[in-house]
Amino acid sequence: MAARYDHPGEQAAHDPIRLLAIRETPLSVDEVFAAVGDHAAGGTTLFVGTVRNHDSGADVDSLGYSCHPTAEAELRRIAEKVCADYPVRALAAVHRVGDLEVGDIAVVVAVSCPHRGEAFEASRKLIDTLKHEVPIWKHQKFSDGTEEWVGAC
């Protein structure tokens, strides 16, 4: 059964994708949050992924992200799918590449929808699919001198 909307603001926006990028420069939570502002949205979610100081019991000193040339196109494909599946008013997603230190922001995603439940669901779908399907790889450097490559897809 198709969803019934009592108000136009509950429908998906015509062009809800406001910001998509893969950048070598530090990311701005404020920029991403501002991009998804929408007066018809009753719920806005914001997820910020940071570099943690450990992974699988090993101490992480730093890491680097690299991506395939198709990464931004894949990010767009995923964003379009999320917008097709949920009544998204506005969506933004930015991932960092290059060398990062512990505590640096690696990814920021935000979604605005008419209601909070939809915003949570759409945001979770966006970040989970991004991490599994966008060709971005992580090169972790550990305190003991070892290194590890982790593929996102």
Q: What is the pLDDT of residues 41-96, one digit of tens each?
A: 999 999 999 999 999 999 999 999 999 999 999 999 999 999 999 999 999 999 99
Percentage of the residues of the chain whose pLDDT score is greater than 90? 87
SS3 127: helix
Strands (E), the chain: 17-23, 43-50, 54-55, 58-67, 90-96, 98-101, 105-113, 136-142, 147-151
H or E stretch covering 83: helix 71-85
Q: Is the pLDDT of residue 153 over 60?
A: no
Residue 6 pLDDT greater than 90, yes or no = no
Tokens of 115: 């209601």
pTM above 0.85, yes or no: yes
Residue 3 in this model has a pLDDT that exceeds 90: no
